[in-house]
Amino acid sequence: MSLFDLRLQEIHKRLNDRSLSVQELVDHSYTRIAEVEPRVQAFLKLDEEGARAAAAQLDELLVKDNSDKGLLFGLPIGIKDNIVTEGITTTCASKFLANYDPIYDATVVRKLKAAGSVTIGKLNMDEFAMGGSNENSAFHPTYNPWNLEHVPGGSSGGSAAAVAAGEVYFALGSDTGGSIRQPAAYCGIVGMKPTYGLVSRFGLVAFASSLDQIGPLTKNVEDAAYLLQAIAGHDGMDSTSAKVDIPDYRAALTGDIRGLRVAIPKEYMGNGIDPEVKERIQEAIRVLESLGAVCEEVSLPHTQYAVAAYYLLASSEASSNLARFDGVRYGKRADNPENLLDLYHKSRSEGFGPEVKRRIMLGTYALSSGYYDAYYLKAQKVRTLIKQDFDQVFANYDIVIGPTAPTTAFRIGEQVDNPLTMYLNDILTIPVNLSGNPAISVPCGMVNGLPVGLQIIGKTLDDAMVLRVAHAFEQNTEHHKKRPAL
């Protein structure tokens, strides 16, 4: 058995009784990375020297201080490479930031360090989080541990693959249009997008600021609750951070969902959903019903407009956020420019990949004079309608469920030349980012040897209910216990 197959409580117990050291956990992580990383390629940067130094300090603390440490103490974690880490290069998987060494930690990284977690390295992603397959990384693709010919999903594909392959105990990702939940579904793990504003975005390199959200990728729901507990909370460094009390997410894992009202949008089970994926979701619905939940079909009528609205809004925000990458202050700087405008042009042309350029151009067009009202403003109005759809459903139901993705992971190279097809893979996850609601993906079965994800969506700030339903489902199935045979 891998050390990383042990439950958090067991590792915690062994660390406190000195039968296990933090150094052994870190050694285990790097040993596993050495075994599988040539095939999976989940990491962009390893910080072995820093991790071993941190492990030595934590082991010394265990000897000196007999007080009980938190459950995350000593656990190896991977960080998506758009979350800044002091002393560890943060590239966003882009040539533009290939030499960027941050001088501070993101708030979530600082919180995890305070909890005693050990950062193993930075994880691969689609460049600037723009993509759904991890094929848009400027450095190399990541491969799905369940089948190395298939994508791990994106943009947090490196984070999902590393957890699925047992390289780290858990990982952090970011979710702008499904970038935690979709790769979690493709890789057969748990991935959660918290309520917008619940987790600080300070230190997250912005893609679309009104949509981006950091969240956990873990092997099971219990671990997701522990990780969310550690990183949630108000942060004065983030102007969109919610000033709310953080409940005990661990206490929500009761396993009891009797009487809960579960909504199943007909739009999430209609055309475009693979029949075998739909079958796994229907099996999951029967599990929830057997536990006492009441499941009924509902409608979210504006779902059909979500993809169009999202790509206008996200691209518009990206064109604004990425204007800071100009070759002047940091990152890629073109050689021998003729003038300032030529510096901007050459630096951005050489530094950005094709998908990033595509979205900057789309966003700039949508925001331009004469098109703002027709595109950007109209997309904002559609966003409001999508939010109202969820509000109306949640007036009568506790939770909304459906597939996380319409299909299982597709083959590498299969869709990379067809961006419109690629965009449609996020049709089931995008509405949640537009509305700001919390959602989680949990494994609910397999199709042709590839995992299927069940998406559970909750009311705004009711992340505890999302975890409660996900945990109840998980405890009554065996899907989360399956591991890829690398």
Q: List residues with catalytic annotation.
A: 80, 155, 179
DSSP 53: H
Q: State the residue for tokens 């950062």.
A: 119
Beta bridge partners of 192: 440
Give dist(CA 97, CA 239) in Å, integer. 25
Paired tokens of 409: 């992971």
Helix (H, G, I), strand (E, B) or coil at 295: strand
Residue 328 parent element (H or E): none
Long-range contacts of 347-354 (CB under 8 A, 24+ apart): 347/96, 348/96, 350/95, 351/94, 351/95, 351/96, 351/325, 351/327, 352/94, 352/95, 352/96, 352/127, 352/322, 352/325, 353/94, 353/95, 353/127, 353/136, 353/138
Sheet of strand 439-447, all strands in order from the earlier edge strand to the far edge: 43-46, 118-123, 76-80, 170-174, 214-218, 190-193, 439-447, 450-457, 399-403, 261-265, 294-298
**Residue 16: partners with Cβ closer than 8 Å, 6 or more residues away:** 62, 68, 69
Beta carbons of 193 and 185 less than 8 angstroms apart? no
Residue 424 amino acid letter: L
Across 266-392, where does the E strand assignment appear?
Answer: 294-298
Q: In 10 A of CB 298, how many CB atoms?
A: 18
